[in-house]
């Protein structure tokens, strides 16, 4: 069970531990305001609704440890355990145990997090974390003297994942039919201004000539539609694919705030490298010390657990990718027209709740304008004061800032909310209600509260179109569109005590 990727796998597992620390740690700071008992979408209320609707099937459809105790203490306990397991992975101790525990924790939080943990990188972390369990053999220590064997099939599954992740991102762009991607190649002329949480670098890049945007767009499509096939080529092509994907992720990270996505993607791409890609001194140290103590256990683990489970992952993911290819080809008059057996379709449906075999594809359609929601409150019914958010655009003189790998999930969701209506954003009215009652957990998600002494009499949301400024001291210019939600007023039955609660 020896592998030419033993050193690479040891590095990968440790970096994945860092990703878990960042992902769970950043959520921990926000969990009370998002899904706590006094949050916008309380997890306990959500699970109660799922149970009443699905009965005994609820635990399979919504797999989370919060069924045991759906309260704030459990939420904080899961976050603490997730950070702890990420730290254990950084040390290399009991990797399979730590990987399994971290995956269960993040699955539990993701299910309970509802829309606030519904991003593609949340699912990607679950899939990377799950495949990592199948990658290395059980044992006490990873990569130090008693380095654990690595599954060649597990390495292949990661390369297959990278292939699907990158190719899927290209396929959705073609399938969308958005001419900004193809054939106009103008998508990046909009991207820097309309990305979810912009950064100041984007202000400058937005001013670049159109030929720069078009050339960059072509490189994006090339990296997503051509380079993924290098993953299954010889060593040099695989290494080239790694460097292309690394450059792509660095470019994305430099022009927008995408939480831990970029680091997670690069982490998965590490398995494109074999041990020969690392410095000779480090490689020699690792090779001379790799003497697994549990070869029988490794063979049993890889043969009885990793191989059959990994085969199921391969089958289901092939079905998912084939569907993406079919939709992209259909855009140009083609199609695969594959008829999968009903048993395969049932298998894909059965594993879907665990969010560990997924379809990927970012930026399918390029958003070409930037509506922003401004939330306001009033104490006297006449003067409206805005609530300010930490990271999303608000004041026109506010400089766009870097926040990744931290992900402010409320700020992110407000970008999506602004693209739709209040009716298509079911969490928005509960959010306004929490502001109306002055709930500390929710106010803690904001940069400032314009009503520090007492909650407002009413709250509302209005919408503007934001554009990068052309000149002057401000970063933005904005134009009023109209009301978005509210005003939501205090009900007469609410006394001062209940409003402060």
Q: Say whether pLDDT at 38 is over 50.
A: yes
Query: What confidence score (pLDDT) does residue 445 get?
Result: 97
CA angle centred on 324, ends 322 and 329, rounded to 5°: 95
- Whether residue 266 is found in the same domain as residue 409: no
- Whether residue 62 is found in the same domain as residue 134: yes
Mean pLDDT of the region 301-324 = 93
Number of Cβ atoms within 10 Å of the Cβ of 284: 11
Q: Decide which of 326, 354, 382 is a domain's last residue.
A: 354
* Cα→Cα distances 246→78, 201, 442, Å: 32, 19, 36
Q: By percentage, how much of the chain surpasses pLDDT 70? A: 93
Quick one: tokens of 458? 């009413």
Report the first-to-last Cα separation within the chain, whole angstroms. 59
- Whether residue 52 is found in the same domain as residue 176: yes
DSSP 8-state assignment for residue 303 = I
Looking at 256-291, list the stretches that DSSP marks H as alpha helix, in order from N- to C-terminal side. 261-269, 280-289
Q: Say whether pLDDT at 464 is over 90.
A: yes
Number of Cβ atoms within 10 Å of the Cβ of 7: 24
The helix/strand/coil state of 334 is: coil
Q: How many Å apart are CA 223 and CA 276, to the nearest integer?
A: 24
Query: What confidence score (pLDDT) does residue 286 get?
Result: 52
**pLDDT tier for residue 492 given thresholds of 50, 70 and 90:** low
| Average pLDDT score, the chain | 91
- Whether residue 348 is found in the same domain as residue 398: no
The helix/strand/coil state of 231 is: helix
| Signed CA dihedral, 462, 367, 195, 126: sign only | positive
Mean pLDDT of the region 76-93 = 97
**Least confident segment among 278-282, 428-432, 470-474:** 278-282
- Whether residue 247 is found in the same domain as residue 338: yes
Q: Find out whether 132 and 364 touch, Cβ atoms under 8 Å.
A: no
- Whether residue 386 is found in the same domain as residue 272: no
Query: What confidence score (pLDDT) does residue 501 get?
Result: 45
101 is a domain residue? yes
Q: How many Å apart are CA 136 and CA 302, to the nearest integer?
A: 8
Q: Find out whether 132 and 42 touch, Cβ atoms under 8 Å.
A: no
414 is a domain residue? yes
**pLDDT tier for residue 296 given thresholds of 50, 70 and 90:** confident
**Least confident segment among 89-98, 283-292, 483-492:** 283-292
- Whether residue 336 is found in the same domain as residue 376: no
Mean pLDDT of the region 155-181 = 95
The helix/strand/coil state of 477 is: strand
Give 93's strand partners: 141
Q: Decide which of 354, 379, 395 is a domain's last residue.
A: 354
Q: Say whether pLDDT at 144 is over 90.
A: no
Quick one: tokens of 275? 């041990």
Query: What confidence score (pLDDT) does residue 283 get?
Result: 56
* Digit-coded pLDDT (tens) for 204-240: 999 999 999 999 999 999 999 999 999 999 999 999 9
Q: How many Å apart are CA 248 and CA 262, to the nearest integer?
A: 9
DSSP 8-state assignment for residue 354 = G
Query: What confidence score (pLDDT) does residue 362 get?
Result: 82
Q: What is the DSSP string of 82-125?
A: HHHHHHHHHHTBSHHHHHHHHHHHHHHHHHHHGGGG-SHHHHHH
- Whether residue 251 is found in the same domain as residue 106: yes
Q: Say whether pLDDT at 57 is over 80.
A: yes
* Cα→Cα distances 121→352, 452, 489, Å: 16, 36, 37
DSSP 8-state assignment for residue 398 = P
Query: What confidence score (pLDDT) does residue 145 get?
Result: 40
91 is a domain residue? yes
Instruction: Tell me the whole-structure pTM to 2 decimals.
Output: 0.93
Number of Cβ atoms within 10 Å of the Cβ of 25: 17
Counting other chains too, the contacts that 77-85 makes at CB distance below 8 Å and 24 or more residues apart are: 78/105, 78/108, 78/109, 79/24, 79/25, 79/27, 79/28, 79/31, 79/105, 79/109, 80/28, 81/105, 82/20, 82/23, 82/24, 82/106, 82/109, 83/20, 83/21, 83/24, 83/25, 83/28, 85/17, 85/20
Number of Cβ atoms within 10 Å of the Cβ of 221: 17
Q: Which of 278, 297, 288, 304 lies closest to 146 in space, CA to CA?
A: 288
Mean pLDDT of the region 49-65 = 96
Q: Find out whether 455 and 475 touch, Cβ atoms under 8 Å.
A: no
360 is a domain residue? no
121 is a domain residue? yes
* Digit-coded pLDDT (tens) for 259-272: 999 999 999 999 99
Mean pLDDT of the region 96-113 = 97
442 is a domain residue? yes
Query: What confidence score (pLDDT) does residue 294 get?
Result: 47
Query: What confidence score (pLDDT) does residue 497 get?
Result: 44
Q: Decide which of 330, 354, 378 is a domain's last residue.
A: 354
Q: Find out whether 352 and 126 touch, Cβ atoms under 8 Å.
A: no
- Whether residue 140 is found in the same domain as residue 226: yes
Number of Cβ atoms within 10 Å of the Cβ of 341: 8
**pLDDT tier for residue 333 given thresholds of 50, 70 and 90:** confident
Looking at 332-408, list the stretches that DSSP marks H as alpha helix, in order from N- to C-terminal side. 342-351
- Whether residue 211 is found in the same domain as residue 316: yes
364 is a domain residue? no
Q: How many Å apart are CA 469 and CA 181, to the nearest integer?
A: 25
| Signed CA dihedral, 263, 267, 273, 275: sign only | positive
Exposed/middle/buried for residue 230 (C-beta within 10 Å: 0-12, 13-18, 19+):
buried
Quick one: tokens of 302? 């890889």
The helix/strand/coil state of 460 is: strand
218 is a domain residue? yes
Q: How many Å apart are CA 56 and CA 47, to the nearest integer?
A: 12
Quick one: tokens of 37? 């008992």
- Whether residue 343 is found in the same domain as residue 487: no
* Digit-coded pLDDT (tens) for 385-432: 999 999 999 999 999 999 999 999 999 999 999 999 999 999 999 999
Give 45's strand partners: none
Q: How many Å apart are CA 238 and CA 234, to the nearest integer?
A: 6
Query: What confidence score (pLDDT) does residue 493 get?
Result: 53
- Whether residue 235 is found in the same domain as residue 384: no
Number of domains in the chain: 2
Range of the domain at 455: 370-500
DSSP 8-state assignment for residue 226 = T
């Amino acid at each position: 069970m020896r592998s030419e990727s033993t050193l690479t796998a040891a590095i990968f597992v440790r970096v994945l531990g860092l990703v878990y620390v960042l992902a769970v740690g950043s959520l921990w700071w926000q969990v009370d305001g998002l899904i706590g008992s006094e949050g916008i979408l309380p997890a306990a209320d959500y699970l109660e609704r799922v149970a009443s609707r699905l009965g005994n099937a609820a635990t399979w459809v919504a797999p989370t440890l919060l069924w045991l105790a759906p309260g704030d203490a459990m939420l904080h306990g899961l976050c603490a355990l997730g950070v702890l397991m990420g730290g254990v992975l950084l040390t290399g101790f009991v990797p399979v145990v730590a990987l399994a525990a971290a995956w269960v924790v993040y699955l539990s939080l993701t299910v309970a997090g509802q829309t606030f943990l519904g991003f593609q990188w949340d699912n990607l972390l679950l899939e990377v974390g799950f495949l990592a369990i199948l990658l290395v053999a059980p044992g006490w220590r990873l990569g130090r003297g008693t380095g654990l064997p690595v599954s060649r099939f597990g390495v292949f599954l990661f390369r297959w994942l990278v292939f699907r992740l990158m190719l899927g991102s290209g396929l959705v762009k073609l399938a969308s039919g958005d001419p900004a991607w193809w054939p106009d190649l103008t998508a990046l002329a909009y991207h820097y201004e309309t990305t979810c949480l912009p950064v100041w670098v984007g202000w400058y890049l937005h001013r670049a000539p159109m030929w720069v945007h078009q050339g960059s767009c072509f490189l994006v499509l090339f990296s997503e539609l051509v380079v993924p096939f290098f993953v299954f080529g010889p060593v040099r092509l695989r290494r080239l694919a790694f460097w292309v994907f690394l450059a792509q992720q660095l470019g994305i990270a430099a022009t927008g705030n995408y939480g831990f996505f970029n680091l997670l993607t690069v982490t998965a791409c590490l398995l494109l490298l074999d041990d020969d890609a690392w410095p000779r001194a480090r490689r020699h140290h690792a090779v001379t010390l790799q003497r697994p103590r549990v070869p029988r256990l490794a063979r049993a683990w890889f043969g009885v657990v990793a191989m059959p489970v990994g085969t199921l992952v391969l089958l289901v993911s092939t079905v998912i990718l084939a569907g993406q290819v079919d939709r992209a080809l259909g855009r140009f008059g083609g199609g695969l027209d594959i008829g999968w057996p009903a048993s395969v379709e049932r298998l894909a449906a059965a594993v879907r709740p665990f969010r560990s075999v997924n379809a990927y594809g970012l930026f399918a359609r390029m958003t070409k304008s930037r509506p922003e929601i401004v939330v306001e409150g009033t104490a006297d019914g006449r003067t409206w004061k805005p609530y300010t958010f930490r990271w999303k655009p608000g004041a026109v003189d506010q400089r766009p800032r870097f926040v990744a790998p931290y992900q402010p999930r409320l700020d992110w969701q407000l970008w999506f909310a602004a693209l739709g209506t209040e009716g298509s954003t079911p969490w928005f009215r509960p959010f306004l209600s929490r502001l109306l009652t002055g709930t500390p957990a929710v106010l803690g998600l904001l940069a400032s509260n314009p009503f520090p002494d007492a909650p407002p009499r009413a709250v509302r949301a209005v919408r503007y179109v934001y554009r990068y400024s052309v000149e002057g001291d401000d970063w933005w210019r904005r134009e009023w569109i109209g009301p978005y939600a509210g005003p939501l007023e205090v009900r007469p039955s609410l006394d001062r005590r209940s409003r402060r609660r």
